[in-house]
Amino acid sequence: MSAIDQRFVELKKQGRKAFIPFITAGDPSLHMTALLLERLDQAGAAIGEIGIPYSDPIADGPVIQASYTRALKAGVKLDDIFACIRSTKPKVTMPLVSMVSYAIMHRRGIERYVADAQAAGLAGAIVPDLLVEEAETVRQICQAADFSLIQLVTPTTTRERMLRIAETSSGFIYFVSVTGITGERNELPPGLLDQVAWLRERTPVPICIGFGISRPEHVRLLAPVADGLIVGSALVRRYAEAPNETAALDQVEALARELMAAI
C-alpha cells in the first residue's frame, strides 16, 4: 500500500474525510512552498498536493496559470522542486502528491520520474493529461513501486469510461466537479452528487472532488458523498495577494481551517 492508501485507511477508521490543499511549487519561492506545506500540515490537512509548474497546463484556471507563470519566470526546475520536497517531507506527516503533466513525466522517463519523486518523498502523482487508453504502462510502473497513480474523471466522462479510469487509478480518483478549468465558483453543477454517488458504488478507490471548491457551503454539500475534497485556486489566491510572508501563511491557514471545519 502506498502512503496515500494508508492515509485513507486511517481516515476511514476515524470517520473523517480528507482535506487536500493544492499549492504551486516555487510560487512565490521554494522557501515559501516549504513553509506552506508545514503550515497546512499543522492545520490538519490529510494530503498535500504540489503543482509542478508547466507552460501549457491542461485544465488550470487563471489563478493557478498565473502561479505557474511566476514560478517558471523565477527559474524553478523539477530537480529544485524535488530537492525542496526532500528537505520538507521529514517535517510533515501528511503524504504528498504531485500534480504533474504527462509531458513532464514522459520527458524525464516514467520510471525515472517515479523513482526521483519517491526519493524526494512523494507518494503519488495526479496526471491530468494521461489518457486512459495510454495509461497501462504508467499504471504498471507505479503499481510496482507502490506509487499512487491518480487520474481524473469529469462531469462529461461517460460512465463506461469512468469505470475504465477507476480500474487504472490508485490512491484516489480525482473527480472534477465542473466542466472547464479550475477556479473559485459561486455554485456547483446540479447532478454532481448523483454522479459521484454512482461511481462510489462501483469502485473501492476513494473519490476526492476538486475544481471550484472555495466555500464552507461547497464542502458541506459534497462531503457526504466524497472521501476527500481538494482546494486549490482559493488557497493560491490567498497567498498570491497577501502583502507579506507572514500574512500569506496566516491567511492560507485560516481558510484551510474554515473549510476543514465544514467537512
Q: Which domains does the chain have, with CATH numbers?
A: 3-261 (3.20.20.70)
Instruction: Please report the pLDDT score of residue 59 as a whole number.
Output: 54
Q: Which residues are CB-neighbours of 194 under 8 A, at least 6 positions away? A: none
Show the DSSP H helices in the chain as ranges.
3-14, 30-43, 62-73, 78-88, 102-108, 110-120, 136-144, 159-168, 192-200, 216-222, 233-241, 245-261
Q: Which residues are CB-neighbours of 241 under 8 A, at least 6 positions away? A: none
Instruction: Please report the pLDDT score of residue 182 as a whole number.
Output: 46
* Residue 133: strand, helix, or coil: helix
For the whole model, what pTM was predicted?
0.93
Q: Which residues are CB-neighbours of 139 under 8 A, at least 6 positions away? A: 149, 168, 170
Q: How far apart are CA 21 and CA 129, in angstroms?
A: 20
Asked if 127 contacts 102 with a C-beta cutoff of 8 angstroms, the reply is yes
Asked if 8 contacts 51 with a C-beta cutoff of 8 angstroms, the reply is no
Please report the DSSP string for 231-243 in residue order. Answer: E-HHHHHHHHH-S
Is residue 167 flagged as an active site residue?
no
Is residue 245 flagged as an active site residue?
no
Instruction: Please report the pLDDT score of residue 212 as a whole number.
Output: 77
Average pLDDT, whole number, for the chain? 92
- From the list 5, 27, 41, 60, the catalytic residue is 60
Is the pLDDT at 186 greater than 60, yes or no? no
* Lowest-pLDDT range of 8-12, 86-90, 155-159, 212-216: 212-216
Show the DSSP H helices in 121-158 as ranges.
136-144
Give the closest residue to 95 by CA, choosing from 196, 157, 30, 10: 10
Instruction: Please report the pLDDT score of residue 183 as a whole number.
Output: 41
| 202-238 confidence digits (pLDDT tens) | 999 999 999 878 889 888 888 888 999 999 999 999 9
- From the list 5, 27, 41, 49, the catalytic residue is 49
Q: How far apart are CA 249 and CA 242, in angstroms?
A: 9
Give the closest residue to 32 by CA, choosing from 213, 232, 244, 258: 244
Instruction: Please report the pLDDT score of residue 184 as a whole number.
Output: 42
